[in-house]
A and B are shown apart, each in its own frame.
Chain A
């Protein structure tokens, strides 16, 4: 047995693909929670073997570790995110310690499955236990690497272990399916690769209804685990998050009509969300979809316990006329059906950790680990309490959340500030570049698939990184119209929150009609983006003059109030060459159109400034 201390790195997966296979909010949340539980089990196993944990910080392991309390409501209120990579220094036999961690990870997965298996026995196809077990057995990707701390010490051993681990992961071994499923078994609707474990004949109502499994929806073992792993009442539906600002305003200004709608939803037997800790959820603890009249009938069809289509249609029409329409009428502004998926990731963390390993060793890493744990705790408070959002995951330097569009930019700003506030003292000037946080906001329709919303958020996060890091990126994907992307550094002379606020004020005041923005875009498209050097200056002058002309022209029916380039945030356009002027105009158009969406989403609604409980 080795007595020399070793640096041990463990990694478990799959992560992104698994999480994004989600239809309901609970799928997304529980998928993320499940991976955290698996990661936590590995970390606890290492701790039990006497390992010195570095990532995650040992304090993060406190609290319940197994049993129903981990998937119940209480645990949902404290979504401690554990990164999928665990780092420790061990003094015993690293191989047996790694094996024990692997067993712990597998056990955590199977314990969660057993609870779901017991709860959902009536949903299973005959013989499905066999292929469900195979799906679970082959699901986890586990890899470990360890290197003795030799003369080079911790930093050299860590670098070597991480390189080994990544090299090992170049082979993603998998086995062919061995279980023969009956002919005609459907595949999971979410995964597409694993056979469904659900039986074909389904009743309306009962467990099927409680778990919101659609009539033609199929789930494999992992899909069912995500759907049924938690308590249905703890998950806030995405449409309700998108409409959080609208609903809270309705609650304050038109409570009578909103109460009427709440009562009608209760009478209709819709699933209630139980989140007493979040005032904005309690304004309307049901799926916000019912606020869109065209979605009322599909909701009634989903929730009805049988009955003919005509009576369901009559019931839905009565519901719309008696409960939904009165609220829409008094509000005077229609709910805007978009939601922001927020994805954030630390910048330069790898480099900073490498430098810290050399200069400060294990202690420096542990200090960063604690700082990240504190940041993730605050991230939950920022997203859920200070702004009207729901945290899906916060672990290490990663955050994933859903926020209503009117709050999204301010929430992103607050997270970026909190990240630096926590990391600065931990790093204490020991690295060249203090890590920062890049945040992506993917804004999409509330009825879009969660995987698609997540993809928008991740694309936006990537755009923020490509924009030089320490930045915000907003990717807007509206049902009609092409995608719009706008990025801005957090440290621009006018930072993104202020910049967008100015644009929104300009749009809401009516001084800048949207038609002018589209006119500028159409005009600039007629010019080459890659203008030859010989024509660059002339093109810049023409572009500037054309934009001036469009902005200053008074339109029929509007008061004459000519706008300048500076009024719309284009003051530096005239100093550019042709290419730069073209790019700036395209960027300006995207920015104003993003601002227009945010303005529309928050029109006549009460904004959150942060800091509210």
Chain B
């Protein structure tokens, strides 16, 4: 098994069309996901791997079916967002960008200005059920989950899509974080026309547009001069053991809609390691923030967790003993529709827990989560879809509220 680590640098934006069709308006419009999906990236890697294999091994020619079968072993094992100044020549851990966690909320200041970051902390339900909630169906364990209380009045300010490495590490360690800057790639709209071959003019009825995620942008902090930054995708990839290709991937890669060209820059596996600054102490409670979307068999409920009376109990990778799920902060499902390039037909839709969702746990027997357990959870895989780097988690400390009378 060989592992390649590299960074993809899209040069002309990316169009990663979501499941909606072109026929959402009288003039066609293609909508893009705000950030590329692991599925799209793995698909592009499988295609590149097949091309590299046929190029480097004389005589090898694969039919679409053979390609599908042999490229199934191309696995994505790491998938992180990166952002650096154009003046820098290499990627470091400090360039990592993480999904904004669902347990952080931006509290509005005066006249719509952002004031501060507040942490959503699940509270132990009051005894006696003086105040109660009800969900969309009957599930005692789900109703037994703890819920966070937002101390501030009014509506929260919109959160940025990403948070920097330094901010995320502070957050996971339970420290306060200052107001994050608006750090998200922007979207632009490309308009396309068809030219009539005889008239050499645009055909009115063929006008269509597509959203494109722009990964090169100018950013300005306060009074400073603007600087150019680039966003990129950091990946680790495994190749099929039997058919390993040396120097994979070679050359530029086609990625997303219209196979836009993407530069490839090699990196070392250190880029994905647990940062030295993340030195937690043992903790009673554990938070898991999803760094990539997760695929669970039952939707939002993590795999391996079963109802045990009024709680869900299960196990976590690298953690000793059973744990109790205390709270879950999960946004709406991320629906993923993909296209089968071999059969030329749509694949089944999958529903993922979006990146940024946060789950809270306590050990069933009341022990602490150790520092080693926490560090071992750094980008551990949880749930299904490991070949697409799904369900990679970031561990954080959490202090559960004391039981009443404790």
- Which positions in A face B, CB cutoff 8 Å? 14, 17, 23, 94-95, 98-99, 102, 140-148, 160-161, 163-168, 170-177, 180-181, 183-195, 214, 216-218, 289, 294-295, 297-298, 350-351, 354, 445, 447-452, 465-466, 468, 530
Closest 10 CB pairs of A and B: A192-B19, A193-B335, A449-B25, A189-B21, A167-B147, A184-B345, A192-B20, A447-B26, A294-B204, A175-B299
CB distance from A179 to the nearest CB of B (A): 10
Contact, CB under 8 Å: A172 / B332: yes
| Cβ contacts under 8 Å, A23 to chain B | 23-25
Is B310 at the interface (CB under 8 A from chain A)? Answer: no
Q: Give the docked Cα–Cα distance between A499 and B145 (Å).
A: 55
Contact, CB under 8 Å: A173 / B299: yes
Contact sample, A vs B, 27 pairs, CB 8 Å cutoff: A23-B24, A95-B132, A102-B134, A163-B150, A165-B133, A168-B133, A171-B330, A172-B331, A174-B333, A175-B299, A185-B346, A186-B346, A187-B337, A187-B346, A191-B335, A192-B18, A192-B19, A192-B31, A193-B349, A193-B351, A217-B21, A218-B21, A350-B155, A448-B27, A448-B29, A449-B25, A466-B111
CB distance from B397 to the nearest CB of A (A): 20
CB distance from B250 to the nearest CB of A (A): 34
A-B contacts counted at CB < 8 A amount to 179
Q: Give the docked Cα–Cα distance between A160 and B112 (Å).
A: 25
Q: Which of B24, B112, B130, B348 has the most CB of A within 10 A?
A: B24
| Closest A residue, CB atoms, query B333 | A174
Residue of A144, A295, A350 near B134 (CB, 8 A) is A144
Residue of A143, A218, A289 near B135 (CB, 8 A) is A143
* 0 or 1 for each of B361-393: is its CB under 8 Å from A? (1 = yes): 000000000000000000000000000000000
A143 and B136 in contact (CB under 8 A), knowing A160-B131, A168-B147? Answer: yes
Interface of A is mostly: mixed
| Cβ contacts under 8 Å, A166 to chain B | 150
Q: Give the docked Cα–Cα distance between A143 and B154 (Å).
A: 20
| Cβ contacts under 8 Å, B258 to chain A | none
Q: Give the docked Cα–Cα distance between A437 and B29 (Å).
A: 33
* 0 or 1 for each of B193-214: is its CB under 8 Å from A? (1 = yes): 0000000000011000000000
Q: Give the docked Cα–Cα distance between A468 and B23 (Å).
A: 38
| Cβ contacts under 8 Å, A354 to chain B | 153
Residue of B135, B149, B331 near A142 (CB, 8 A) is B135
Contact, CB under 8 Å: B24 / A189: yes
Contact, CB under 8 Å: A173 / B300: yes
CB distance from A311 to the nearest CB of B (A): 18
Residue of B23, B337, B350 near A216 (CB, 8 A) is B23
* 0 or 1 for each of B24-48: is its CB under 8 Å from A? (1 = yes): 1111010100000000000000000
Residue of A98, A148, A176 near B130 (CB, 8 A) is A148
CB distance from B190 to the nearest CB of A (A): 13
| Cβ contacts under 8 Å, A142 to chain B | 134-136
| Cβ contacts under 8 Å, B149 to chain A | 163, 167
| Closest B residue, CB atoms, query A13 | B332
Contact, CB under 8 Å: B131 / A145: yes
CB distance from A165 to the nearest CB of B (A): 7
Is B296 at the interface (CB under 8 A from chain A)? Answer: yes
Q: Give the docked Cα–Cα distance between A187 and B333 (Å).
A: 16
Is B298 at the interface (CB under 8 A from chain A)? Answer: yes
| Cβ contacts under 8 Å, B329 to chain A | 170-171
| Cβ contacts under 8 Å, B26 to chain A | 289, 295, 298, 447
Q: Give the docked Cα–Cα distance between A351 and B327 (Å).
A: 30
Q: Give the docked Cα–Cα distance between A26 and B224 (Å).
A: 50
Contact, CB under 8 Å: A190 / B24: yes
| Cβ contacts under 8 Å, A148 to chain B | 130-131
Q: Give the docked Cα–Cα distance between A142 and B143 (Å).
A: 13
Q: Give the docked Cα–Cα distance between A297 and B329 (Å).
A: 51
CB distance from A106 to the nearest CB of B (A): 9
| Cβ contacts under 8 Å, A448 to chain B | 25, 27, 29
| Cβ contacts under 8 Å, A351 to chain B | 153-154
| Cβ contacts under 8 Å, B78 to chain A | none
Residue of B136, B142, B204, B223 near A102 (CB, 8 A) is B136
Contact, CB under 8 Å: A214 / B23: yes
* 0 or 1 for each of B125-143: is its CB under 8 Å from A? (1 = yes): 0000011111110000010
CB distance from A583 to the nearest CB of B (A): 16
| Cβ contacts under 8 Å, A289 to chain B | 26
A146 and B150 in contact (CB under 8 A), knowing A170-B329, A191-B20? Answer: no
Residue of B153, B155, B204, B349 near A187 (CB, 8 A) is B349
Instruction: With A140-B136, A187-B19 given, name 12 new contacts (CB 8 A).
Output: A167-B123, A167-B150, A171-B328, A188-B20, A190-B20, A214-B23, A217-B21, A218-B21, A295-B26, A350-B153, A445-B27, A449-B24
CB distance from A67 to the nearest CB of B (A): 26
* 0 or 1 for each of B49-64: is its CB under 8 Å from A? (1 = yes): 0000000000000000
Q: Give the docked Cα–Cα distance between A496 and B188 (Å).
A: 30
Contact, CB under 8 Å: B133 / A144: yes
A216 and B21 in contact (CB under 8 A), knowing A176-B297, A176-B298? Answer: yes
Is B102 at the interface (CB under 8 A from chain A)? Answer: yes
Q: Give the docked Cα–Cα distance between A190 and B145 (Å).
A: 34
Residue of B131, B134, B136 near A173 (CB, 8 A) is B136
Q: Give the docked Cα–Cα distance between A235 and B333 (Å).
A: 32
Residue of B21, B145, B296, B343 near A171 (CB, 8 A) is B145
| Cβ contacts under 8 Å, A180 to chain B | 348
* 0 or 1 for each of B92-104: is its CB under 8 Å from A? (1 = yes): 0000000000100
| Cβ contacts under 8 Å, B346 to chain A | 184-187
CB distance from A572 to the nearest CB of B (A): 22
CB distance from A110 to the nearest CB of B (A): 14
Q: Which of B131, B148, B331, B350 has the most CB of A within 10 A?
A: B131
Q: Give the docked Cα–Cα distance between A298 and B111 (Å).
A: 48
Q: Give the docked Cα–Cα distance between A556 and B130 (Å).
A: 80
| Closest B residue, CB atoms, query A139 | B136
A164 and B131 in contact (CB under 8 A), knowing A187-B349, A192-B18? Answer: yes
| Cβ contacts under 8 Å, A175 to chain B | 298-300, 351
| Cβ contacts under 8 Å, A173 to chain B | 135-136, 142, 299-301, 330
| Cβ contacts under 8 Å, B154 to chain A | 350-351
| Cβ contacts under 8 Å, B327 to chain A | 171
* 0 or 1 for each of B148-169: is its CB under 8 Å from A? (1 = yes): 1110011100000000000000
| Closest B residue, CB atoms, query A468 | B111
| Closest A residue, CB atoms, query B102 | A170
CB distance from A155 to the nearest CB of B (A): 13
Contact, CB under 8 Å: A98 / B134: yes
Contact, CB under 8 Å: B25 / A447: yes
A146 and B131 in contact (CB under 8 A), knowing A170-B120, A216-B23? Answer: yes
CB distance from A56 to the nearest CB of B (A): 20
Q: Give the docked Cα–Cα distance between A188 and B154 (Å).
A: 36
| Cβ contacts under 8 Å, B345 to chain A | 183-184
| Closest B residue, CB atoms, query A166 | B150
| Cβ contacts under 8 Å, B343 to chain A | 183-184
Q: Which of A94, A171, A187, A354 has the most CB of B within 10 A?
A: A171
CB distance from B254 to the nearest CB of A (A): 23
Contact, CB under 8 Å: A170 / B19: no
Q: Which of A163, A351, A465 has the most CB of B within 10 A?
A: A163
| Closest A residue, CB atoms, query B25 | A449
CB distance from B131 to the nearest CB of A (A): 4
Q: Which of B24, B136, B297, B333 has the most CB of A within 10 A?
A: B136
| Cβ contacts under 8 Å, B134 to chain A | 95, 98-99, 102, 142-145
| Cβ contacts under 8 Å, A141 to chain B | 136
A147 and B131 in contact (CB under 8 A), knowing A172-B332, A177-B351, A193-B19? Answer: yes
Q: Give the docked Cα–Cα distance between A164 and B147 (Å).
A: 8
Contact, CB under 8 Å: B112 / A465: yes
Q: Give the docked Cα–Cα distance between A192 and B30 (Å).
A: 11
Q: Give the docked Cα–Cα distance between A173 and B357 (Å).
A: 12
Q: Give the docked Cα–Cα distance between A472 and B285 (Å).
A: 48
| Cβ contacts under 8 Å, A449 to chain B | 24-25, 29
Contact, CB under 8 Å: A297 / B205: yes
